[in-house]
Amino acid sequence: MKIVALKESHEPRVALVPDAVKKLCQLEGIEVAVESQLSPMITDQAYEEAGAEVVESRQDLLASADINVSVNAPLIEDIKQMKKGSLCISFLDPYNDTERIKTLQASGVNAISMEMLPRTTLAQKMDAISSQASLAGYVAVVLGANKLDRIFPMMMTPSGTIPPAKVFVIGAGVAGLQAIATAKRLGARVEAFDTRPVVEEQVTSLGAKFVKVDLGETGQNKDGYANALTDEQLKIQQQAMAKSCVNADLVITTAKLFGRKAPVIVTDDILKDMRDGAVIIDLAAGCGGNVEGTVVDETVNVHGVNIVGIDNLPGEVAYDASSMYASNLYHLISHFYDQETHTMSLDQSDEIMNGCLVVRDAQVVNERLKEIYGG
C-alpha cells in the first residue's frame, strides 16, 4: 500500500514528517513517497533517510498513490488525477466545500475528513482538530503579547509597580484552555467565559477566573462541542461579555460552530468602549469571525482596537503543527491498517470510521452529510 504526500498550496504545514514516515514504513506492506521539496522546513534527504521515496513528478505520485494525505483538501485538478478507488485523507470542510466533495465522488476517490473524527477516548491520538487547536491557542497569546502595548507580568521596579495585563478568553475548548494556560504562564491576569458551565473547573484549575453568565439551558453535543445559542441567549452573552472586554487589554475569541458561521460575540458597540491599543485575536476569523469588523488574514484597527484575523494560526508554528498532524495521521492509518491484506479498512461498523468517512464508492456515506449530498 503506497502512501503519498504532496506539496500544499498556500499552506506552511505538511502532512508527513520524517518521524511519521519512519513509523509508517515499519508497518509491513506500506511504502511512502513524497513530492520533492515537500517542505522548506525539512530536506529531501531527511525524508529519504526515514524511508520515503522522493519523487519529482506530481502526476506520477497522484497516479500511483493508494492513500493521498494532506493538511488541506487536495486541489480539484489533483483529485481528477487520483487513482480510482484510492483514499484521500485531509481536512475537507465537507459542510461548505461541496464542489470538492462532488469531485471526489465523480472521480471514484474515497475520502476521510479529519474534522469529522468523533471525539472519543480511542480516537484522541487521531484528533487533528484538537492538536491544531491547542497550538492555535498558544500562538494567539504569543501574537497578542507581541502586538500589545504593555507587558504581561506584574513588575515591581524602582520606578513603580507595573500591573499585570488583563486577558479575557471567550470559549474554553481546547484552544481556549491552552490560551488561558499560556497567558497565565506569561504572568497575565486571566478571565474566561464559556457557554458550558461544566468547564468552569477546568478554567479555575489553570488559575483563571470563570465569568458566570446565566444563559439558561446551553450544554454541549455528543462530541463535546458547545451547542449553538438562540438569538436571545446571544444577546445576553454579548451584554455580559461587554464588561470583561472593556476591562481587558487582550481578548481572545475561540467560538466556532462546526459546519456553520461563527457567532458574533464582540459587537461594534463593545469595540467602541474598549481602550485604545487593546488587541483582539479572533480565532474564528476563517468562518465568519466572532468580532464585528474582523477581516480574514489581516490586522485592522476599529475604534482604536487592533483586531487580528489570522486564519491559520497553527501555520505560524508549522514545524510542530506538522509533527502533531503527521502523528494524528499515523495513528489513524495504523489503527485501520490490515497487515495481512495490506489495505486500510473502511468498515463503517467501527465508530471512528463511521464518523469520519465521507465518500466511499462514489457515494456520500456519512449520515450527517446526506442532507446536503443525498445518498
Mean pLDDT for 94-106 is 96
Which residue's entry shows cell 481536512?
91
Do 2-126+318-362 and 148-311 share a fold?
yes
Q: For position 54, what pLDDT does the model report?
A: 98
Q: For position 359, what pLDDT does the model report?
A: 97
Closest CA relative to residue 94, chosen from 331, 370, 283: 370
* Mean pLDDT for all residues in the chain: 94
Mean pLDDT for 55-76 is 97
Mean pLDDT for 278-306 is 97
Q: Is the pLDDT of residue 98 over 90?
A: yes
Q: For position 124, what pLDDT does the model report?
A: 95
Q: Is the pLDDT of residue 226 over 70?
A: no
Question: Residue 218 — very low, low, confident or very high, per pLDDT cuts 50/70/90?
Answer: low
Question: Under CATH, what is the fold of the domain 148-311?
Answer: Rossmann fold (3.40.50)
Instruction: List, in order, residues 6 or more apart from 148 with CB less than 8 Å away.
Output: 165, 249, 250, 277, 279
Q: For position 259, what pLDDT does the model report?
A: 81
Mean pLDDT for 236-250 is 88
Domain boundaries 2-126+318-362, CATH class = alpha beta
Angle at the Cα of 104 (from 310 to 59), degrees rounded to 5? 85
Cβ contact 246:274 at 8 Å: yes
Question: Residue 214 — very low, low, confident or very high, per pLDDT cuts 50/70/90?
Answer: confident
Where do the structural domains in the chain lie, given as residue ranges? 2-126+318-362, 148-311
Q: For position 222, what pLDDT does the model report?
A: 55
Residues known to be catalytic: 119, 124, 127, 130, 225
Closest CA relative to residue 166, chosen from 195, 208, 206, 197: 208
Q: Is the pLDDT of residue 330 over 80?
A: yes
Mean pLDDT for 109-125 is 95
Q: pLDDT tens digits, residue range 262-287?
A: 999 999 999 999 999 999 999 999 99
Question: Above pLDDT 90, what percent of the chain?
Answer: 87
Rounded to two decimals, the pTM is 0.93
